[in-house]
Structure formats: structure tokens, C-alpha cells
Structure 1
Amino acid sequence: MNTKQEALPLLRAEFERWNALLASLSEAQLTSPQLDDGWSIKDAVAHLHAWQQRSVARVQAALAGGEPNYPNLPAELDPETEDVDALNAWFHSQTREQPWPEVYGNWRANFAHLLQLSAQVPDELWLGDERYPWMDGYPLLGVLEGTYEHHQEHWEFLQPVLAGFQP
């Protein structure tokens, strides 16, 4: 992905792929802990939503010309940290009891919001690795690339479970 014009269609396609998959599964399939880490597909979707919030905060900051405002994190957890295990554990503790319709609605709405916000960011703000110090040397386009890659990574993790759902 070298431009917003390349990234947004890929993200829209990924969004639609996930929507189609999630719509094809029963609530029991979505909520049963079948992944290697004891998570369910619902937990994986909640995890994706949690990280999407960071992406949305970054795109909003670029639009506003300020710093990202990361929602719902305790002060001791830094969303820019390399300790993703601590962040993931906290995210999971916050969402594991949420019902599937809430998790799905949050993920879907936030992904759509990310796409809508990203379309508003002027092209010249996506490139340049010094523009946003909170991007740690990466251009803003890395937000879209990271969201896409994160969803693809978890798609691959789901494949063994999904294969077990086939008749």
C-alpha cells in the first residue's frame, strides 16, 4: 500500500470478507472457545475492535492536527508500548463477558468509522515519517496497513477452526 487510494479499497474488501464470514456462523460457533489461546471467534473480533480504536484515534488526531486520544485505557497501559501482551490481556478482560451482538456491532461500527474518517484525510497527510511523533517514525498510512494486516493475521488464525465447521 503506497497511497490512501490503494489502501481504502483493500480495507473495504477486508471489512466485507469479515462481515460475510461472521454472518455465516451461528452464535454458538462464534462464542465457543475453540482457538489455541482459549478464545472464541467473538474474542478475536473484540480484540480486533480494541486495536481499531487505536487506529481511529490516530486518524482523528491527523485530521485535528493533534495527539491521539485513546479511549478506555487505564493510565498504566500505554497504547504505544511494545507490551502488547498486557494490552491484549486487559482488552480481553474488558470484553470477554460482552454478548456477541454488542461485540459485533462495536467492531462493525468502528471499522466503518475508520473507513469514513480515513477517506477525509487529505492525501498529503498520509505520507512522511516525521509528521506524527506518536507514529514512531512510520507514516500515517501505517495505520491502514496495520489494520489490514491485523485482520488478515487473525483470519489465518481462524482457518483451522473454520475448517472444523465444514460439513
Structure 2
Amino acid sequence: MTLSNEQSALLALVDRAYAAQNAWIASLSDAERELVGTPERWSAKDMLAHVTFWQQVMIDRLNMVGRGETPTLFGDFQPVNERVFAERNALPWQQVLDEAAAAYAAASEHVRTFDTATLTERDRFAWNHNEPLVSNVLSNSYWHPLEHAARFSIERGDSAGAIALMDDAIVNQAALAVFPHDRATALFNLACLYATNGLPAQALALLPESLALRPDLIEWSKQDSDLDSIRDTPEFQDFIGK
């Protein structure tokens, strides 16, 4: 099967995130693997189970699209996340790893088998707020795994490792340029991650490109609480004004 440029780029990104996820898992100490998480402080296993759950939700929705059915979306994510934590907190590591591998394989197969138009056309699926399916794949099988790997590094006190990971996977990732709308979203989300974790310089460096690619985010940036720590800086006010 000959893949389109968009399919090849999307597969490369999904592969990149899965490799980063596996590298993160391999870096865990025995104590980190054995830690039992709480609702207030998730363990590494809880994070992986959480990421995998949302990938499975995405895959179920893609299966429905393939059958010509209309998926439904959740309203408030928080009760869902709390339920998933309670259901999966006691699962053995091997089951969580197996489910993560199966989710990756299923996501990759959908990218290969859906035609490019179905994946990339905007305004095609009203149930998806008229966003293209590629945005769902990137959100759940690219950004989300990377975000949690970075958050875990920051919680470890390794902010430099988190920045290196996300710079390589988001800022410097050529394949993401194929999807400028989603690149803008990823840069904005990364700026929020940095801003809420004491990394204001890194956050400010990302916003100009993000807002240039998606001007509709400018108004949102003025009220997004994740950016509260940098909103009053001269740099933020300067490029918002421009």
C-alpha cells in the first residue's frame, strides 16, 4: 500500500511518541515501577494506563467512523479520569504494557487504512466539532504520551530532560509541519505545560509561532489560566499586541 505524504508523516509522529513512551518506561527505577499511585499523585503505571485509555477511546471512535456510525464525545473529562484511575490502579504492569502496545498498533493501522481525505478534511465530522480525524490521532497518540513523559521528568526534578524531550518531539519535529493547525496546538499546549511548571522562558519562546499559525488562539491565550504566570510579562503583552 502506497501511503500519502500525510499518512507517512502521521505514522512517523505516532512512532516517535511510542518510542519516547517506551524509553520513558525503560528509564523507570524499580521503586518507580512498584509505586502505588493515589488519586492525588499518580504513579508511572497510572499515567500509562490513563494515556492508553484515551487512545482506546480514540480507536473505538475511529472504528465507528469506519462503520459509518456517529461517535459521541464525553462532556467533563475529570469524572472519566477519576473512574479510569480507580478501575486501572491495581492492574499488573504487564497488562498495562500489553494494552499500550495494542493501542499503538491499532492507531497505526487506522492511519494506514483510512484514506487521506477522511483523515485530514476539516468540517467533515460534526460530532468532532468539525475537526479532522488527524487531530484526534495526534492528540491521543502523539501529544498525550509525550506530555505525561515530560510531566514525569519535571516531577523527578529533571526539567532539562523534559525540555530536551519536548523540543525534539514537538519544536524540532519536521513531520509535524505537515499539519500546521496541529503543530500550533501542540506548541500552545507545550507553552501551557512549561508555564504551569516554572519554565516561563520556554513557554514564551513557543507562543509567537503557535499564535501565528492559529490566530484563533490569541483570544483564548488572554484567558487561559495555564498562562497566568506569564500573561503580565512584557514579552507576552508585546506579541499579543502585535
Q: Percent identity?
A: 24
Partner of 1:154: 148
Match of 2:235 in 1: none
Query: Structure 1 residues 154, 142: CA separation in 2 closer, same or farther (over 3 Å shift)?
Result: same
Runs ≥4 in structure 1, deviation > 3 angstroms? 33-37, 161-164
Counterparts of 1:15 and 1:56, CA distance in 2: 16
Bigger radius of gyration among the two: 2
Which structure exhibits the higher relative contact order, with contacts defined as CA atoms closer than 8 Å and separated by 6 or more residues?
1
- Cα deviation, 1:108-147, whole Å, max 9, x if unaligned, reads 2112211122211111111223322221221111111212
- Partner residue of 2:80 out of 64, 83, 87: 87
Structure 2 unaligned blocks of 5 or more? 159-242
More helix by share: 2
CA contact (8 A) 1:59 1:118 kept: no
- TM-superposed CA distance for 1:5, in Å, is 2.6
**Aligned twin of 1:14:** 17
Normalising by structure 1, what TM-score? 0.80
In the aligned structure 2, how far is the partner of 1:113 from the partner of 1:38? 29
Cα 1:103–1:134 shift into 2, 3 Å: same
Aligned 1:18-167 pairs, distance under 5 A: 18-33=21-36, 37-68=40-71, 80-147=73-140, 148-163=142-157
The two structures, once aligned, show a CA RMSD in angstroms of: 2.4
Partner of 2:200: none
Q: CA separation in 2, counterparts of 1:155 and 1:113?
A: 21
Deviation at 1:161, TM superposition (A): 4.1
In the comparison of the two structures, how many residue pairs are matched?
A: 153
Task: Say which SS state the counterpart of residue 120 (structure 2) adopts.
Answer: coil
Q: Which runs of 5+ in 1 are unaligned?
A: 69-78
Which TM-score applies when normalising by structure 2?
0.57
